[in-house]
Amino acid sequence: MSADPHYQATEEAHTGPIKNPKQLLLAVFFSFIVPILIIVGLVSYVVSGTKPAGTAEGDNMALYGVTQESRDREVAERLKKVGSIEIRDANRPLAAGEAVFKAQCVACHGAPGIPGAPHLNDAAAWGPRIGQGYATLLEHALKGKGAMPAQGGGDFEDIEIGRAVVYLANAGGAKFPVPDRPAAAAAPAEGASAAASAPAAAAASAPAK
């Protein structure tokens, strides 16, 4: 006697995809493992996305062969003229134009120098520049012009940079006077004080009537 086909179809419809204990264990296993793997993946993604900027910067520095020491030194040099105060002795003798030239200008304006820069004793190159006047040449030297970087704010005072400008220009045919510090204002003040005290002294020494 054969089984009823209608009964078999109804039984298979109610049994579902899990037909034995092994399939049940696998279903339970994957129902736990898959969500855990998804959570771990999400956590890894979030952590890698919020990695500190310093770590990525360090990786880039290592990639390009830049050490932390050189990076710190570069930052210190950039901040040096902004965040530091240098006190200079206003009474010290001014450096001569030739000394400033040899210390700060000879690399570009000496021999052989660099192309395009007016070199020492080159009258042809200095002629048009001398016509601009000392004030313009000094401004170009202090603030920079074209390929020449600014020379102000370094080891020498602005007036000492001016002396180097005069040294170079005069070697090229100019007749600029060598700049010097302005005379101290103490002398006129002392003269005025003496002039004011003279009438008082004269009145005190006059005989009483």
CA distances from 45 to 51, 53, 54, 92 (A): 10, 16, 18, 64
CA atoms within 13 A on the CB side of 190: 4
Residue 78 makes CB contacts below 8 A (sequence gap 6+) with none
Question: 36: which 2 tokens?
Answer: 């855990």
Secondary structure string (H, E, C) spanning 51-63: CCHHHHHHHHHHH
CATH code assigned to 97-171: 1.10.760.10
Other beta carbons within 10 Å of 193 = 10
Per-domain boundaries in the chain: 11-47, 53-83, 97-171
Is residue 139 packed enough to be buried (19+ CB in 10 Å), middle (13-18) or exposed (0-12)?
A: middle
pLDDT at residue 27 is higher than 70: yes
Question: 86: which 2 tokens?
Answer: 């240098």
Q: What is the pLDDT of residue 138?
A: 93
Q: Are 123 and 173 in contact (CB under 8 A)?
A: yes
Q: What are the tens digits of pLDDT across the range 40-95?
A: 888 888 887 655 555 555 555 555 555 677 777 777 776 665 545 556 666 789 99
Range with top average pLDDT, 19-33, 72-86, 106-120: 106-120
Please give the model's pTM, rounded to 2 decimal places. 0.48
Q: What are the tens digits of pLDDT across the range 159-195?
A: 999 999 999 999 999 999 999 988 754 444 455 454 5
pLDDT at residue 17 is higher than 90: no
Question: 159: which 2 tokens?
Answer: 């007036």
Q: What is the pLDDT of residue 1?
A: 47
Q: Are 38 and 30 in contact (CB under 8 A)?
A: no
